[in-house]
Amino acid sequence: MKMEEVDFSSPVFSDHPGGWQTPSDLVAGFTLAWALELKERVRLSPSSPSGPGVMERLPVRYRYDTLGGLIDLGPMATGATFGRSPVVRLTALCGAWELFEHMNRTWRIRPNDFDQFSNLLSFVTGGLDRPSLYRDESADISKCLLAVRVRRSSMQMDELDLAEQWFLTGDDDLTFQDARGNDSLQFHFSGMHIVPLPLFSHQFVSAIWSTARVTVNQLGPDRVISMHSERVDSLTDLLDRGGEKARAAERELTPMQFQHFNNWPGW
């Protein structure tokens, strides 16, 4: 499968309303949601947007993860479950690829420049241990997808990695079971460097949000909001409905029950 066969702007989610039917639409929704929330956080606490007490002062729409409910398949989800869920797979892959396009305007990857490739691979996969793109974000899936895309760009390879193909097709034959019995993928970073990664629901949710946060950090919230201004009303309505649903459930359920409550309000 080659890059030219992939089009994230084509409608694939026919049961979604207009403006939410393509992978690019969903990535825009997550990215815009974080941009709006970050603006509000900065307004409440300019010096420490993620500091103590900020969450409690946010509007209800930002206190609960409404969009995460769309892609969280639950703790018992397996690789086969994700294989049947294109919303999860395509949103994760599209977000990582769009972030690559943003970053490569600065990186300007040079074909077969091994020094540049090594530095970018370290920057993409690192955490707080070294200068890195994601820093303290929980983003293993997004890091792996971006690292593979960097490798292919550096090596001028249009043929997709097998892990990328799984994100597009959900083909069970592209997964394997690790020593603990978890459905997993293998990501080819460079040479013989192959990274195995088990597939868990929380990893997809955190990776998609991490990609959105990194994208907003790179572009700035005002630019992101301007880019997607036509989506603000529909997104705000969705977040409001999900927030109210979660707030009502939080009053009625025990803390343990609420941990497993999905506040996705539906379209």
Structure tokens, 93: 């892959």
Q: How many domains does the chain fold into? A: 1
Give the number of other CB atoms < 10 A from CB of residue 242: 24
The C-alpha atoms of residue 137 and residue 82 are separated, in whole angstroms, by 22
Question: Is residue 252 domain-resident?
Answer: no
Q: Assess if residue 102 is contained within a domain.
A: yes
The set of residues, in sequence order, having a beta carbon less than 8 Å from that of 256 and lying 6+ positions away, is none
Q: Does residue 46 lie within any of the structural domains?
A: yes
For residue 65, is it within any domain?
A: no
The vertex-48 CA angle with 45 and 52, nearest 5°, equals 85
- Sorted by sequence, the CB contacts under 8 Å of residue 128 that are 6+ apart come out as 135, 136
Res 193: pLDDT: 78
- With a CB cutoff of 8 Å and minimum separation 6, the contacts of 14 are 21
48-88 pLDDT, tens digit each = 999 999 999 999 999 999 999 999 998 888 888 888 999 99
Q: Is residue 245 part of a domain?
A: no
- pLDDT value for 191: 72
pTM: 0.95
According to the model, what pLDDT value does residue 79 have? 81
At 103 the pLDDT is: 98
Q: Does residue 247 belong to any structural domain of this protein?
A: no
Spatial CA neighbour of 149 closest among 199, 211, 66: 211
User: In terms of residue numbers, what domain contains 86?
Assistant: 3-56+77-239
Domain membership of residue 259 (yes or no) is: no
What integer pLDDT is reported at residue 140 of this predicted model? 94
96-139, pLDDT tens digit by residue? 999 999 999 999 999 999 999 999 999 999 989 899 999 999 89
